[in-house]
A = this chain, B = another copy of it.
Amino acid sequence: MNGPSLRGVLAPVITPFTGGLAPDPGRFQRHCAWLLAQGCCGLAVFGTNSEANSLGQQERMDLLSGLAASGVDPARLIPGTGCCSLPETVALSAHAVALGCHGVLMLPPFYYKGVPDEGLFRSYSEVIQRVGDARLRIYLYHIPPVSGVAISVPLVERLLKAYPGTIAGVKDSGGDWEHTSALLGYAAQGLEVYAGSEVFLLRTLRGGGAGCITAGANVNPAAIDRVFRHWDDPSAEALQAAIDRVRVILQSHGPMIPALKAVTAHFAGDPAWRTVRPPLVELPGAQTQALLDDLMGAGFAMPGLAG
C-alpha cells in the first residue's frame, strides 16, 4: 500500500444486491465511478454502510478484485477488512495489500464485549504479523454504537508507537467530539483522523484532520467535498451548514442504510438499488416518499447518476 495520503472525502460505498441477494458488481462499479467523479478522493468500500458485515469473505474479495479490474485505481481504495475472526481479517487485509489498496479500514473483533485494551492490542498485532507486509496501512475503525467495542485513545497511542509505519489513521464514528479531538492530538505524529460523519468535517479539518468517511458521501459527495476544499475560506461555515441540513434529513426518516439505498434508487431511476440484505429491511414506500420530499424541498439532487 502506498501513494500519498487520501485527504478529503471518502464514501463507505453502499453495496447493491440482485433480487436473489447476491452482490451486484456492475451497479457497484458504476456507483464507485460516479462517487469518484463527484469529488470523493477515495472509497472506503466495505464499511458499515456497505453492509459489509453481511458479506462473506469471498464476496468481498470478488467485489474488490472486480472494482480494481474495472479501472478504479486501487490507491484510492481503503476497504473494510475487520471481522470477528482473526483468519478472515488477515485474509481480507492480505488481499487488499496484494491488490495495491491505499490502506484498510479495520474494525476490532466485535463479538466479545468488554474486552481489555491489551486484548485489542494483541488482535491488531497478530493481524499485522500474519499479514507480514510492510505495505499494510491500517485505519482503525472506532464505531462503538454499532460494533460495541471501542478503540480507546490510549490503545491508538500504543498501536501508533508499536507500529508507526503501519497504523495510518483512525475513522471516528463514535459521535463524541471529545474523542475525535483527543485523536487529533496525534496528527503531528502522522495519525490521519477521519470524521465518521460529515457533520464533524469542518471541525476535524480545522483540528488538523484528514477528512471524513461518511454515509452521507454516498448521496451528497460533491457538497461534502466543497467543505473539504474550502475549509479555510470564509464560505466554509455556510457550506458546512448546507451539508448538515441534508444529513439531518437523511437521518430523520428511518435507518440510514435503507434510506441511502432508497435515495439512490430514486435518483438513478433504478428500483433494484432499494434491496438490502437481511437483517436489514428496505425503507417502506411512505417513508421513502417523505424522505424524498424533504430532500427535494432542500434542493437536493444526485446529478449524473445513472441506473
Binding site for B on A (CB under 8 A): 21, 48, 51, 53-59, 83-88, 91, 108-116, 118-120, 122-123, 125-126, 145-149, 255, 277-281
What is the distance, in angstroms, from A63's C-beta to the closest C-beta of chain B? 13
Which of A59, A86, A108 lies at the interface centre, i.e. has the most chain B CB atoms within 10 A of its CB?
A: A86
Q: Can you name the residue of chain B whose Cβ is closest to the Cβ of A146?
A: B113
Q: A123 near B279 (CB under 8 angstroms)? A: yes
Q: A54 near B279 (CB under 8 angstroms)? A: no
What is the distance, in angstroms, from A147's C-beta to the closest C-beta of chain B? 7
Which of A86, A91, A112, A278 lies at the interface centre, i.e. has the most chain B CB atoms within 10 A of its CB?
A: A278
Q: A85 near B118 (CB under 8 angstroms)? A: no
Copies of this chain, tallied across the complex: 2
Task: Report chain B residues within 8 Å CB of A56.
Answer: 85-88, 91
The residue that A54 contacts in the complex, of B84, B91, B255, B278, with Cβ under 8 A, is: B84
Q: Can you name the residue of chain B whose Cβ is closest to the Cβ of A280?
A: B119
Which of A56, A59, A87, A146 lies at the interface centre, i.e. has the most chain B CB atoms within 10 A of its CB?
A: A56
Q: B87 near A58 (CB under 8 angstroms)? A: yes
Task: Report chain B residues within 8 Å CB of A125.
Answer: 278
Task: Report chain B residues within 8 Å CB of A109.
Answer: 53-54, 278-279
> Provided the pairs A278-B126, A281-B118 are in contact, do residues A146 and B85 lie with their beta carbons within 8 angstroms?
no
Q: Can you name the residue of chain B whose Cβ is closest to the Cβ of A54?
A: B85
Q: B86 near A84 (CB under 8 angstroms)? A: no
A/B interface sample: 14 pairs, CB < 8 A: A53-B109, A54-B84, A54-B85, A54-B111, A57-B88, A58-B87, A109-B278, A109-B279, A112-B280, A113-B146, A116-B279, A116-B281, A119-B278, A148-B148
